[in-house]
Every structure is written in C-alpha cells, then in structure tokens.
A and B are shown apart, each in its own frame.
Chain A
C-alpha cells in the first residue's frame, strides 16, 4: 500500500488567514482525494485532484475557498482560504490504488 505523509499535522490559525496542507505519496498515483471531517462527523469529499488537470470539486466546495494544486503524480496541496471557525476540521488526503483507498495521517486545523 502507498505511504502518505501530510504536513502540517496540526495547526491553530486565526480567522481570515489561509493555510496550505501538503500531501506527499511514496509512489506515483493517478488520483488523489481531499477530505474534510468535521468534529463528530464522517468524511466529506472536498475534491478529486488529477495530475495535469483542474481539480473536480464536490457540491458545496469551491476553488476560491479550497484551491488545490497537483504538480506531479506524488504531490498535492490543499489551501484553506480566508478561514473561519467553521473550517475547524481534520483534513485528509487519500490515494486510490487497485480499488482500495489509503489515507494520509491527517491535518487537524483549529481556527480561532
């Protein structure tokens, strides 16, 4: 299975600022996914990031708020822009491999 790292593991940010989360995979993967998990909730898919094309966003998520980069087959970033306390969540990246999906360790974001 793929080994995925995420940075930062946690952060506390002020309202109105932005945070960029990095996701690194130890092998080349076609599809990478970004999820959000709000306290006490299940996972919600934000977008799918394919290398060489624009990310595909799910309903309720927009590029201006959550810009995503995917410069190559092993790396992606998610930016949470103009943050508000409602953005406090765990953010997870994942990759699909042979039908299975593996997750990075997650980033716990708290917005004050």
Chain B
C-alpha cells in the first residue's frame, strides 16, 4: 500500500532557529513529491520535486529529494512567527495527478 510518512508530527522552536521537516514515502509509481504550507484552510503550494539531489529554494525555505532513500526534507532557516503552520508532504503516484498525503508536521514558532 502506498504511504507517505512525515516526521516529526509537531515541533516547537524559537524564532530564528532552523528547522528540518522530514517526509519519507513508499509508492509504486513515483512521479513527484510536493510540499505545502497550510495555515487556515487551503494548503498553499511550496515546492514540487522530481529529481534527486537538486535543491529547490524560495527565500528561507529549501527542499531536496532523495529518490534512492525515498525521502525529502524541507528546511526553514531563520524562522519567523509567520512560519507557524502545518506543513504537508504529498506524493504523486501515477499519471492522474492524484496525491498521497502525509499527516503533516505542525510547526509552532515562539517569539
């Protein structure tokens, strides 16, 4: 059965810290891995990763995929209170855009 596992499930850090969120997966027909940030209702798209070892970066956020070890990490440097959110990892398996979702990591940044 396809599955996506995120860790930790929750994390509390202080402003300015660096955090690393993990996402491991087991899927039969991997196409891509996506990271989302969910603050209120709708998840907002962060990154899509398809190739191993190529870091994607957006400001203080970066992510990388390891297709051999079947995992991805999301790094956030110099965290701010606005980074507080649930971070979701999803894997697209197959050719029909359907995503398999992890349970999410709830990140709380304390001022």
B-binding residues in A (CB < 8 A): 1, 31, 33, 41-45, 48, 90, 92, 96, 99-106, 108
Contacts and interface: CB of A to CB of B under 8 A. Distances in A.
A106 B36 CA distance: 15
Contacts of B103: 41-42
Contacts of B102: 42
Interface of B: 31-32, 34, 40-45, 48, 50, 88, 90, 92, 96-99, 101-104
Contacts of B31: 99
A45 B98 CA distance: 8
Given A42-B101, A45-B99, A106-B42, 19 more contacts: A41-B103, A42-B102, A42-B103, A43-B88, A43-B90, A44-B101, A45-B98, A92-B41, A96-B97, A99-B48, A99-B50, A99-B92, A100-B34, A100-B48, A101-B99, A102-B45, A103-B42, A103-B44, A105-B42
Contacts of A105: 41-42
Contact of A43 (B32, B44, B96, B101): B101
**Chain B facing A: main interface SS:** strand
B88 A48 contact: no
B96 A48 contact: yes
**Chain A facing B: main interface SS:** strand
B78 to A, nearest CB: 26
Nearest to A98: B48
Nearest to B88: A42
A108 B101 contact: no
Contacts of B48: 99-100
Contacts of B90: 43, 101
